[in-house]
Chain A
Amino acid sequence: MDTFLTVERVDYTFEDGPLSVLADVSLSIPAGSFVVLVGPSGVGKSTLLRLLAGLLRPSSGRITLTQQSTGNAIGIVFQRDNLMPWRTVTENVRLPLELQGRNGLAASRSVQAMIDLVGLAGFEQSYPAQLSGGMAQRVALARALVHQPTLLLLDEPFGALDALTRERMGQELLRIWQAMPVTVFMVTHSISEAVFLADEVLVMGGDPGNGRPAAITHRLPIQLLRPRRFEVQGTAEFLEYAAAIRAAIQQ
């Protein structure tokens, strides 16, 4: 597969302090793949994600997104759904199109198609306060995908959900990813979620709080067959992958 995104020798130091968070991070992400980043809390996973999103600039090094015909729009989902409480489900999903000045019939169709895809038909006119955590996160996912981004960034998207909802959302995410030509970069704490979802798991290590900036220490391709069903989580192969990642994190 073609390389979609490359990170070359990126360092990142907080502007308002001498704290070096990332040092010499390099990685490449193939187009259309699903890459998951795991690592201890506070190691700098979200910082890397924000660098990829262009929300932060690297102190040194380079991040390159391969130019594609559709441009390089980005979709982001955070741990908290971050919907706008004053907008209905439809209005929340429509936001990225609105910002591009697209308000016509085609835009409305894309919004409805996205709402249908995430399984929220019937809730178009609901306000976020009326939705459960899982439903709100589905809206956030629809909002992140409605403008057909080439890169979908997920920052612990299911971290605030209960365990059962979380598993169901993981399966939903795979279904949606397979329906769309999008490259996914996801940060998570859950090792089993990482194995279940990823083409490749990146492990980040280091301790920026104590003077050891983080870097990618391991990369593990996950060669479980797709489409993956929930039952795969009980197989010996799955458990081996999970054990390997756990060992990598603890090194």
Chain B
Amino acid sequence: MKFLNAQPTWLMILVSFVGLLLGWHLLVVWGAYDRFILPGPVDVWRQLMIVAGDGRLLKHSLITLSEVLPGLAIGLLIAMPLGYLLAKSPLAERLLSPYLIASQAIPVIAIAPLLTIWVSSTYWARVLVATLVVFFPILINIIAGLRSAPAELYELMHSLQATRRQIFSKLELPAALPILLAGLKVGATLSVIGALVGEFVQPKSEGLGFLLVTARYQFKTDLVFVVLVTLGTIALSMYGLVSALEKHLLRWQVNK
């Protein structure tokens, strides 16, 4: 036990990952499952090599990413001013928050088909679904973040004759940043789900969602696994990017 605790984290992750693959492999071998029911790691690897080699995986990944990133960006761009309005104006909050909360009670997957009717562009319909998914968690965090500045710092700013704009840029925004970034982390992973939902309901012969659906219809279960791993990798990378950004922007928290 002591020996294990002394090992670096990356090594432990590697060990557990290899263990997981091994367990999966043995399960498939002993269970003698058909490949279209449960493919083994070797099958999935072979399939990965095929779709990576012929460029299909990259092509569909880039298409999904091209929906994920604008979806996240648009969600953020709408949530920021709206969050500011709701955080600052009790009237706006009372008028709008019932609808915002009610809109969350309806699953996005149920709204998505409507969007495909209303938005003629397949691409933008998908982006819009991603936007819908990330919008609310980011909005909630922006409101909470903007309200987190202590009252005495407001008094300090007022006593120094700070303008509205200065109070926002030098107090509210930096004070909101930790909570805002936490929301962005959640949003980053959710945006992948959103784009996928968009691809499910708005079929078009491209995107990882399309690849997944096609692979399932063709009982290429190993390809389904490849898509799942790719989606996970994309979501984790986005999470990692926001974490890196967070580490840089919140370096003042180091000793806490």
**Quick check: B252 and A82 within 8 Å, CB to CB?**
no
Task: Identify the stretch in A72-80, A112-120, A186-194, A197-205 within 8 Å (CB) of chain B at 4 or more residues.
Answer: A72-80
The verdict on A169 contacting chain B, using a C-beta distance below 8 Å, is: no
Contact B177 A99 (CB under 8 A): no
14 contacts between A and B (CB under 8 A): A55-B159, A76-B159, A80-B152, A82-B150, A82-B156, A84-B174, A95-B170, A99-B157, A99-B160, A99-B161, A127-B255, A129-B255, A129-B256, A153-B159
Q: How far is the CB of A150 from chain B (nearest CB, A)?
A: 13
Q: Which residues does chain A contribute within 8 Å of B157, judged by CB atoms?
A: 99
Q: Is A54 an interface residue (CB 8 A)?
A: yes
Closest residue of chain B to A81, judged by CB? B152
Task: A95-B160, A129-B252 given; name 7 further pairs at CB < 8 Å.
Answer: A54-B159, A78-B155, A84-B170, A84-B171, A88-B252, A129-B256, A147-B160
**Contact of A86 (CB < 8 Å), options: B156, B160, B166, B174:** B174
Q: Would A85 and B252 count as touching, CB distance under 8 A?
A: yes
Contact B170 A127 (CB under 8 A): no
Q: Are A127 and B252 in contact (CB under 8 A)?
A: yes
Contact B160 A129 (CB under 8 A): no
Q: Is the CB of A86 within 8 A of B153?
A: no
Chain B residue contacts of A19, Cβ below 8 A: none
Complex alpha-carbon distance, A127 and B255, angstroms: 9
- Beta-carbon contact of B166 and A99 below 8 Å: yes
Q: Are A78 and B160 CB-contacts (below 8 A) given A129-B255, A130-B255?
A: no
Closest to A97 in B: B160
Chain B residues lying within 8 Å of A147, measured Cβ to Cβ, are: 160
Shortest Cβ distance from residue B232 to the other chain A in the assembled complex, whole angstroms: 33
Partner of B153, one of A75, A82, A98, A153: A82
A55 vs B160: C-alpha distance when bound (angstroms): 10
The residues of B with any CB-CB pair to A shorter than 8 Å are: 150, 152-153, 155-162, 166, 170-171, 174-175, 177, 250, 252-256
Bound: A87/B169 CA distance, A: 13
Complex alpha-carbon distance, A99 and B161, angstroms: 8
Minimum Cβ distance to chain A for residue B146 (Å): 15
CA distance A133 to B171 in the complex (A): 22
The answer, yes or no, to whether A96 is at the interface (CB within 8 Å) is yes
Closest A-B pairs by Cβ, 6 of them = A127-B252, A86-B174, A86-B252, A82-B152, A129-B255, A78-B152
Q: How far is the CB of B161 from chain A (nearest CB, A)?
A: 7
- The verdict on A50 contacting B171 (CB below 8 Å), with A82-B150, A86-B252, A99-B162 known, is no
B253 and A55: CB pair below 8 A?
no
Question: Which of B158, B177, B250, B255 interacts with A55 by CB under 8 Å?
Answer: B158
A95 to B160, CA, bound (A): 9
Asked whether A99 lies within 8 Å of B170 as measured between CB atoms, the reply is yes
Complex CA gap A138/B120 in Å reads: 62
Alpha-carbon separation in the docked complex, A96 to B171 (Å): 13
Known interface pairs A85-B252, A86-B177, A99-B170; A50-B155 also in contact (CB < 8 Å): yes
Which A104-148 residues sit within 8 Å CB-CB of chain B?
A: 127-130, 147
What CA separation (Å) do A75 and B184 show in the bound complex? 37
How far does the alpha carbon of A53 sit from the alpha carbon of B157 in the complex, in Å?
12
